[in-house]
Homo-oligomer: A and B are copies of this chain.
Amino acid sequence: MPNQLDRTTMNVVCLAGGVGGAKLADGLARLVPPQNLTIIVNTGDDFQHLGLTICPDLDTVMYALGDVANVETGWGRAGESWHTIAEVGRLGGPDWFHLGDLDLATHLTRTHLLQEGQTLTAVTRHLCRHFHIQPDVLPMSDQPTPTLIETDGRILPFQTWFVQERWQPPVHKIHLPTDARATPQVAARLEKADLVIIAPSNPFVSIDPILNVYPIRPMLEDLPRAVVAVSPIIGGQAVKGPAAKMMQEMGMDVSSAAVAAYYGDLLDGFVYDAQDDGLLAQGDLALLCVDTLMHTSADRVRLAQDVLNFALEIS
């Protein structure tokens, strides 16, 4: 592989789900020139609700990069209020998905622009411009690509399982669409990527839905440059959300080693947490063991820096 890459000119693509992906994307955005950074975001969680098209992972990434995210919760807007959804509850409407007043503006504007005939890619570009976000944030697909969760005798839309049922029903199978196609923008960015970073997002319901979108997985497999994943498991636990619970239910070890094994040959490098030091090298997979927990903005930049340095080393 060529080794003249440097951080100021290499094209970095980050595959991201929600909170963990948004944090690492934010760290990368503070280091990589915007024209060289693309965030490809899972849209398998998207759903129609109350008449609106809601894209939770796109929103989490945009709010983080736009510096308007609620840093306490990791999702939603800072300085949020809840007048509308409280009233929806009083009016006997569904209030299980917590839509803040500022957050609602994103969904209303998106729905309006989609109904005008714009693609989700174009709508996301519009929203990013208004959030003063410079790197490209791309939905993995412009088609609806719903992730479905099969649990005891039921197949649930993702948000029904994740939010309404608080990810408690055991996951027997994850159904991803068989006909999902990447946008031309996604394919073009992967084509010229010097580094692909798989963010510390849930491998099964955040990253797999992206890899499932044709031709993202084969493009990553063929990429001459490095594909590096950051483990979402720290100390045998998920930082947030159902990843650990899902691994148990699928009969996997809840460990970074299991995550690396799950991604398998797709990876050239794997970044895992210092709490899990001792993970054995698997084949010719390059390993980096650092502090991966991102509490603060500085943590995001430090991890992004570590990942970029590691990628430069192994490229």
Binding site for B on A (CB under 8 A): 48-53, 81, 83-88, 90-94, 101-102, 104-109, 111-113, 115, 126-127, 129-131
The contact of A91 among B52, B84, B93, B130, by CB within 8 Å, is: B130
Are B92 and A130 within 8 A (Cβ)? yes
* Contact in complex: B92, A108 (CB < 8 Å): no
CA distance A63 to B142 in the complex (A): 40
With both beta carbons as reference points, the residue of chain B lying nearest to A48 in the complex is identified as B115
Contact assessment for A111 and B50 in the assembled complex, using a CB-CB cutoff below 8 Å: yes
* C-alpha spacing A49/B112, complex, angstroms: 7
Contacts of A52 in B (CB 8 A): 51, 108
**Cβ of A90 and Cβ of B50 under 8 Å apart?**
no
- Asked if A102 contacts B130 (CB within 8 A), the reply is no
Cross-chain contact A126 with B84 (CB below 8 angstroms): no
20 inter-chain pairs at a CB distance below 8 angstroms, sorted by A residue, are: A48-B115, A50-B108, A50-B111, A50-B112, A51-B53, A51-B108, A51-B112, A52-B108, A83-B83, A83-B105, A84-B104, A84-B108, A86-B105, A88-B109, A90-B130, A91-B106, A91-B131, A93-B105, A93-B113, A104-B104
Chain B residue at minimal CB-CB distance from A102? B87
Q: A53-B51, A104-B104 are in contact. Are A109 and B83 (CB under 8 A)?
A: no
**Could you tell me the distance between the alpha carbons of A49 and B109 in the complex, rounded to whole angstroms?**
10
Q: Given the interface contacts A51-B53, A51-B108, A51-B111, does A83 sit within 8 Å of B81 by beta carbon?
A: yes
Distance in Å from the Cβ of A107 to the closest Cβ of chain B?
8
Assess whether B130 is in contact with A101, with CB atoms less than 8 Å apart: no
Closest B residue to A108 using CB positions: B50
Chain B residue contacts of A113, Cβ below 8 A: 93
Contact for A115 among B51, B53, B91, B107, CB less than 8 A: B51
Contacts A51-B107, A83-B83 known; 11 new A-B pairs at CB < 8 A: A48-B115, A49-B112, A50-B111, A51-B52, A51-B53, A83-B105, A84-B108, A91-B127, A93-B112, A93-B113, A104-B104
